Amino acid sequence: MAIVSIATALMLAACGGTGAGGGAATSASAGGSAAAGDTLVGVAMPTQTSERWIADGNAVKEGLEKAGYKVDLQYANDDIPTQTQQIDAMITAGAKLLIIAAIDGTALTSQLETAASKGIKVIAYDRLIRDSENVDFYVSFDNYKVGVAQATALLYGLGVTDRDGKATGTATKGQKIELFAGSLDDNNAHFFWNGAIDTLKPYITDGTLVVGSGQDTIEQAATLRWLQETAQKRMEDLLTSTYGGKGTGLKGVLSPYDGISRGIITALQGVGMGPSIKEGLPVVTGQDAEIASVKLIADGVQQSTIFKDTRKLAAQAVTAAQDFLSGKTPTPNNTTDYDNGKKVVPSFLLEVDTVYADTIQAMLIDSGYWTEDEVKSGVAK
Ligand code: BGC
């Protein structure tokens, strides 16, 4: 069974669809032995303000529909009560399985209890759902490695290491950086942070890097709901409090997500830095390969982003759903790292890649994630 599941996953991944802006995750009804028929699957996504969740939602929906299931796909506008109501409604409508990317990973305990009492399986999508026994499977990326990759990109940009994280030994000492984290109610934010901090630590300890503001805890660095405006405001405040209002001496900013990166860049350019890295803009990292940020990377403004192929994640979620709905148990590739406070949730984690200006073509365009035109315009078509 395990072999069948892995083979299905690989096939689905290989069949990855047409693009980030709504490509299909799967090309066929693979592997599902039970008749899907009228079976309803509820898919709860957090927000449409970030492209990745739109792409995720579309790809999961198309994959499930191709496998013959009915799908109720909902977005919750980043509002917790909206998401809980949507999940309640899916349960009432008779959904047999739920795929959930939570807004607040700790807010769904009672919905999941109801689901369990009705025998509804729950797959946590990308973000782990915490404080509940009733999470049956988790599909995500290796979130700790995302943080390592972000920090490595920053170190590379500052001349401290090469792209693989090997120390150059020629780095300037005392380079000032600032740190941003994601939303504290998102389990992933903590994994990204830990991966990044573990990677930066040795260079902070030996004085190569200095967190100028001294704000070096995740609580100080956090960005509620991952909001661009919130990050921009914090960066503006840091520029005023620590960098003489002009950014003097600031060399790099660790950013965990492209929306946050764009907020940071707006603040930096707002005090006259840059406008490009060549012209002195600090190195700013990112995540998700959002098209607006990919354009900024192509233009030499944002330094990097982490590419998480949402087509592959969607395919993985579809495979796990098909397994559950045909009475099987999906095969995890990690059974140790994702403790949600009640149990270690069996997980399937995908790998990520770092995108720099010179790898946009190979990673994003050649793979069909974005077209050349989209990268040029910075707008998803
Ligand atoms: C996801 C990231 C995303 C962030 C903000 C996280 O849970 O893993 O890919 O950048 O949420 O939407």
The predicted model gives 261-268 an average pLDDT of 98
Over residues 6-20, the pLDDT tens digits come to: 444 444 443 334 455
Closest CA to 320 of 138, 110, 146: 138
**CB 50 near ligand 1, within 6 Å:** yes
Query: How many angstroms separate the CA atoms of 114 and 35, rounded?
Result: 25
Tokens for 16?
């990855």
Q: What is the pTM of this model?
A: 0.91
List the structure tokens of 91: 């349960």
Binding site membership of 323 for ligand 1 (Cβ less than 6 Å): no
Residue with tokens 């120390």: 167
- Residue of 186, 192, 294, 307 to test ligand 1 pocket, by largest number of atoms within 8 Å of CB: 186
Percentage with pLDDT > 90 across the chain = 89
pLDDT digits (tens, 9 = 90+) for 325-342: 999 999 999 999 999 999
Rg of the chain in Å (alpha carbons) = 21
Q: What local confidence, expressed as pLDDT, does residue 19 receive?
A: 52
Q: Is the pLDDT of residue 96 over 50?
A: yes
Looking at the predicted structure, is the pLDDT value of residue 210 above 80? yes
Pocket test for ligand 1, best of 225, 285, 288, 293 (most atoms within 8 A of CB): 288
Between CA 75 and CA 225 the distance in angstroms is 15
For ligand 1, whether the C-beta of 193 sits within 6 Å is no
Please report the sign of the dihedral spanned by the C-alpha atoms of residue 353, residue 357, residue 363, residue 365.
Answer: positive
Q: Where are the alpha helices (DSSP H) in the chain?
A: 2-14, 51-66, 80-92, 109-117, 143-157, 187-205, 218-221, 228-242, 258-270, 291-298, 310-325, 360, 372-377
Pairing verdict, β 353-355 and 305-307: antiparallel
Give 218-264 pLDDT, tens digit per residue. Answer: 999 999 999 999 999 999 999 999 999 999 999 999 999 999 999 99
- The CB of 261 under 6 Å from ligand 1? The reply is no
Atom index in ligand 1 nearest the CA of residue 258 equals 10
- Nearest atom in ligand 1 to the alpha carbon of residue 101 is 7
Query: In this predicted structure, what is the pLDDT of residue 20?
Result: 56
Is the beta carbon of 287 within 6 A of some atom in ligand 1? yes
